[in-house]
Amino acid sequence: MKRCMCITFAVIAGLCLAVAVPRSQAAETKNIILATTTSTQDSGLLDALLPVFQKQTGYFVKTIAVGSGQAMAMGARGEADVLLAHSPADEKKFMDEGNGSRRQLVMHNDFIIIGPSDDPAGVKAAKDAPEAFKLIAGKSALFISRGDNSGTHAKEKKIWESAGVKPDGQGWYQQTGLGMGQTLAVAAEKKGYTLADRGTWLSQQKNLGLPIVCQGDTSLLNVYHVIEVSPQKWPRVNAAGAKAFAEFMVAPATQKLIGAFGVEKFGAALFTPDAGKSLESLGK
Amino acid sequence: MDLIFDGIRHAIVLLVTLDRETWGITFLSLQISGAATLVSLLIGMGAGTALALADFRGKRLLVSIINTGMGLPPVVVGLFVTIMLWRNGPLGFLEMLYTPGAIILAQSVIATPIVAGITVAAIQNLPRNLRLQILALGATRLQMLWLLMREARLPLLAAVMAGFGGVISEVGASIMVGGNIKGYTRVLTTATVMETGMGNFDIAIALGIILLGLTFAVNYVLTLVQQHDRPR
């Protein structure tokens, strides 16, 4: 009985210690909440950049990786300080509604349409993305959609629109509601087509066996902006931290890191740095 | 199948080479879920014992509510805790969202009904006359409670295991209120989800195996305590 009590007390003491330790870590004051798309995390870019930023400025970045839609919803409620998003039309709306104080171009890569290697819908013959989607719809070939209001999903909806196809409710059109990485895995497993950002696809290519079937069309550009959430609208936002992060993302040294990211591991850069360029000049 | 063996190999490599990040994540999982279990024990066992011994109208309804709470979906808890902790939410002044404390809070909410529910059942399962006998022998109320809990220690330790098992394996609430922040709120389950999303299946499997090992170790210790002087 005595030993039993001893063990019990040891366990309780250990647990008490466990409560105390995370508290002391939580005493950080210089926190920034960064709401970002899953692609920047799933591709590993943030893991490469954030330690540099934290060392330079002393800010601790809390990265919340969600879809662009949710990231902007968080920004619109003042629950994030700075956003990294790739859904330009929604971002414009976000800015027009006065939710952001500044929006700057950071980088781009492109979306690609990928599909099973035997290409049952013959998409490789398509000259642009809407035509590729039309072919997929025409053959009722399986298409896996993100379906999560992310930037990729927004782009996909736009392409369906220009293709003049309404895919919702069709048997060949399936929505995962998951991030890019998991959606790619579903597409690979079910041998379906899907729209993906090149970065995530490159970083996962080894597991997938889904080649690119359509790329290079200017409508497939994937542009990332950094947005500072408006401190006028939400006084509790960490405006100084957001500013520091935004300026870090467009600084020449960071841009160089972005341009070099992925070359070593995947043999190709995952993103093209674009700070200071105009949106119209991209992809030309 | 190769993937699973790769994962096992990877798990061993990560642990043996004392990979700092992996150990950090493992230790943080243990701390957070341990703390949450402790909180749920204090509240759940207290409330459960009080409820089991008390007699009042609506007791059955309350017990049913607690028993329903045992199946509380972690994501729903995560959602509500997130909304409460939002900067501009009712508890925003605590600035607790996306901290380990927030995960402890959410996990405590998940584990408390589990502990309370099992406690109610455990105490109610004791012979009815035991309480009278203890009191008749001149015990104070506090002594009586202590004796009752000692008598019910087998199922009560089961409550600890169920509570701990419920929260250490939970991912929905942890990812919502913790945010899976590297080196800060990334625990074994959220790291597994992330690595799966990144296509690093071998690391994901390795983390899963470490999680199983950790849960086993904790339960083994608890079982030793539980079975130590089991009435034969």
Please tell me which residue of chain A has the smallest CA distance to B36: A19
Task: Report pLDDT digits (tens) over B36-87.
Answer: 999 999 999 999 999 999 889 999 999 999 999 999 999 999 999 999 999 8
Q: Lowest-pLDDT range, A1-10, A121-130, B21-30?
A: A1-10
Is the minimum CB–CB distance between A36 and chain B shorter than 8 Å? no
Q: What pLDDT shows up at residue B160?
A: 94
Is the minimum CB–CB distance between A56 and chain B shorter than 8 Å? no
Same domain, A212 and A121: yes
Contact A209, A188 (CB under 8 A): yes
CATH no. for residue A114?
Answer: 3.40.190.10
- Please tell me the distance in Å from B3's CA to the nearest CA on chain A: 11
Examine residue B105 and state whether it is found in any structural domain, yes or no: yes
Q: What pLDDT shows up at residue A200?
A: 86
Instruction: List CB contacts of A157: < 8 A, sequence separation 6 or more.
Output: none
Mean pLDDT value of segment B84-107: 92
Mean pLDDT value of segment A181-203: 91
The mean pLDDT of chain A is 87
Domain that holds residue A203: 110-220
C-beta atoms of B31 and A22 within 8 A: yes
Is the minimum CB–CB distance between A54 and chain B shorter than 8 Å? no
Contact B110, B170 (CB under 8 A): yes
Same domain, A213 and A139: yes
Give the separation between CA A46 and CA A48, rounded to whole angstroms.
5
User: Does residue A3 or residue A28 have the better pLDDT?
Assistant: A3
Contacts of A189 in chain B (CB under 8 A): none
Place of tokens 């798309």: A37
* pLDDT > 70? residue A10: no
Window A:65-84, CB contacts with B under 8 Å: 65, 77-79
The dihedral built from the CA positions of residue A33, B175, A196 and A130, taken in this order, carries a sign that is negative
Same domain, A216 and A128: yes
Task: Report pLDDT digits (tens) over A135-171.
Answer: 999 999 999 999 988 889 999 999 999 999 999 999 9
C-beta atoms of A182 and B196 within 8 A: yes
Same domain, A157 and A195: yes
Of B34, B180, B199, the CB nearest to A18: B34
C-beta atoms of B37 and A15 within 8 A: yes
- Write down which residue in A200, A220, A240 finishes a domain: A220
Examine residue A164 and state whether it is found in any structural domain, yes or no: yes
Number of domains in chain B: 1
* pTM as predicted: 0.83
Angle value at C-alpha A165, between A87 and A67, nearest 5 degrees: 25
Number of domains in chain A: 2
Question: Which DSSP symbol is given to B138?
Answer: T
Examine residue B174 and state whether it is found in any structural domain, yes or no: yes
Q: Lowest-pLDDT range, A2-6, A96-100, B22-26, B130-134?
A: A2-6
Q: How confident is the model at residue A8 (pLDDT cuts 50, 70, 90)?
A: low
- 3-state secondary structure (DSSP) of residue A126: coil
Q: How confident is the model at residue A13 (pLDDT cuts 50, 70, 90)?
A: low
Give the separation between CA A152 and CA A147, rounded to whole angstroms.
9
